[in-house]
Structure 1
Amino acid sequence: MIPSQEEATERARVLEAAAEAARRTPGVAYLRPGFGDLVRGAAARYRSRTHQASSASRIAGVRAYRVDSPHGWDLRVHLAVVRGYRALDVTRQVRAAVTAAVRELAAADGAPEPRVSVSITVTDIA
């Protein structure tokens, strides 16, 4: 099922808010692109060289899935932790920051508070 333009825009805004919240968290070195992100990036560069439209908005290291539509999000964040920080502390802070960012986004839109589930995977210590 292809999402409507409104759903795609909302998903892109959630991805951006989640990624920005995660990046601002102390101890986060960077969001880690997965293999799929790397392949999609190569495909997007190829499409741009051949003047074809790029695919829907994606942010490396963050995935957002709609659950309990329309009032819930399941987010998955893959990141690297700065050496010297405790990964457990960083993941807790990222989870709280991402949850707050998505809820603030919904509140700004006048939507009811969404149920937000955030899972964090630490892929590297940098």
Structure 2
Amino acid sequence: MTDRALRTTLTEEIAAAVEAVPGVAFLRPGLGGRLRSALPRGASAANGGRSVPAGVRLTRPDGAGPWRVEIHVVARGHVRTLDVARAVAHAVEGRLAGLLPGEQPPKVTVTVTGLV
């Protein structure tokens, strides 16, 4: 699996884990997602039909150290934002531990960008 394919797969898995957390309304839409809705349907074929989920940024600066994960979510207004952020971080850490056993734990940053 290429590095790009691995990164895309991990990002999709992380997005699925985040969206399953109670209190998360949705991942923050990025500029690409907003523009994509204005493009014709066939325009996404350039990426093999797969799009990287908005609101998830996955990096590994030195190639061997821990993954760095930045999550941007919009939370539901009836729950405590801190609880949602902690639950999202825990879900991401657990998902990556299952997908990448034996690797260093990821450094997860969660930002709640809005409430609905």
**TM-score exceeds 0.5:** yes
1:69 is the counterpart of 2:59: no
Task: Give the structure 1 partner of residue 22 of structure 2.
Answer: 26
For the residues of structure 2 that align with 1:72 and 1:42, how far apart are their CA atoms?
34
2:6 corresponds to which of 6, 10, 14: 10
Q: Structure 1 residue runs of 4+, over 4 Å off?
A: none
Aligned-residue sequence identity (percent) comes to 34
1:116 is the counterpart of 2:116: no
Cα-to-partner distance string for 1:92-113 (whole Å, 9 max, x where unaligned): 0100110111111012xxxx32
What displacement does 1:77 show? 0.8
Structure 1 stretches lacking a partner, 5+ long: none
Letter in 1 for 2:26: Y
RMSD (Å), alpha carbons: 2.3
For the residues of structure 1 that align with 2:14 and 2:56, how far apart are their CA atoms?
8
For the residues of structure 1 that align with 2:40 and 2:65, how far apart are their CA atoms?
36
What displacement does 1:32 show? 0.9
SS in 2 for 1:93: helix
Letter in 2 for 1:54: N
Does the 8 A contact of 1:71 with 1:115 survive in 2?
Answer: no
Letter in 2 for 1:116: P
What displacement does 1:34 show? 2.5
